[in-house]
């Protein structure tokens, strides 16, 4: 990883396009974590979840809102279960001292649809992934269901820098 100054960091937001990458629908298996997508860090970039510790960067508070829905004719919110973010190497091996970066109830992510201050506070611990490393996104539900990308909404604050 090249040198990066703190001034080079900038705020960004992952949407469902970066988080749900396993297809238009994803079959969620009851009782186990099912990958719904992953983001691979590009060359000359570093990415961290949440907001970096910059004075002018939205007061450095990262937020996370997610409303996952099934693919029924009348979509139903998926609020029972857990959402997990894993940190992976380019060989899909867990990395770091805390490879399970976040493990949170799905219901906790559904507040703040229109008021960002009400969204889940996302910690930032100076963990920045570099080229070819991955953020993997998983969901665990008590009852099998099919996740619909088109019906779901994701707003996940991230910190980025170009090297």
Contact indicator for 38, 105 with CB cutoff of 8 Å: no
Task: Retrieve residue 108's tokens.
Answer: 């906790």
**Could you tell me if 85 and 49 are in contact, meaning their C-beta atoms sit under 8 angstroms apart?**
yes
pLDDT at position 127 is 86
Closest CA to 42 of 12, 65, 66: 12
The pLDDT score that the predictor gives to residue 81 is: 98
Measured distance CA(79)–CA(20) in Å, rounded: 16
User: In DSSP terms, which residues pair with 98 in a beta bridge?
Assistant: none
pTM (2 decimals)?
Answer: 0.91
Which residue ranges make up each domain of the chain?
10-146+154-162
Can you give the pLDDT at residue 54?
54
pLDDT at 58: 47
55-94 burial by CB neighbour count: b if 16+ within 10 A, else e?
eebeeebbbbbbbbbbbeeeeeebeebbbbbbbbeeeeee
The pLDDT of residue 65: 97
Separation CA 53–CA 56 (nearest Å): 9
CATH of domain 10-146+154-162: 2.60.120.1170
Low-confidence spans in the chain with pLDDT less than 70 = 1-7, 52-60
Write down how long the chain is.
Answer: 163
């Amino acid at each position: 990883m090249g040198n990066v100054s703190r001034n080079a960091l900038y705020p960004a937001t992952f949407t469902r396009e970066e988080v749900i990458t396993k297809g238009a629908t994803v079959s969620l298996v009851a009782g186990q974590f099912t990958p719904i997508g992953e983001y691979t860090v590009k060359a000359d970039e570093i990415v961290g979840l949440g907001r970096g510790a910059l004075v002018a960067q939205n007061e450095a508070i990262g937020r996370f809102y997610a409303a996952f829905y099934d693919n029924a004719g009348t979509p139903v919110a998926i609020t029972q279960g857990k959402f997990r973010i894993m940190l992976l190497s380019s060989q899909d091996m867990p990395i770091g001292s805390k490879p399970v970066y976040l493990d949170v109830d799905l219901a906790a992510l559904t507040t703040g649809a229109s008021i960002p201050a009400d969204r889940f506070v996302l910690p930032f611990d100076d963990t920045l992934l570099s080229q070819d490393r991955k953020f993997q996104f998983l969901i665990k539900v008590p009852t099998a269901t099919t996740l619909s990308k088109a019906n779901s909404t994701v707003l996940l604050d991230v910190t980025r820098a170009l090297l």
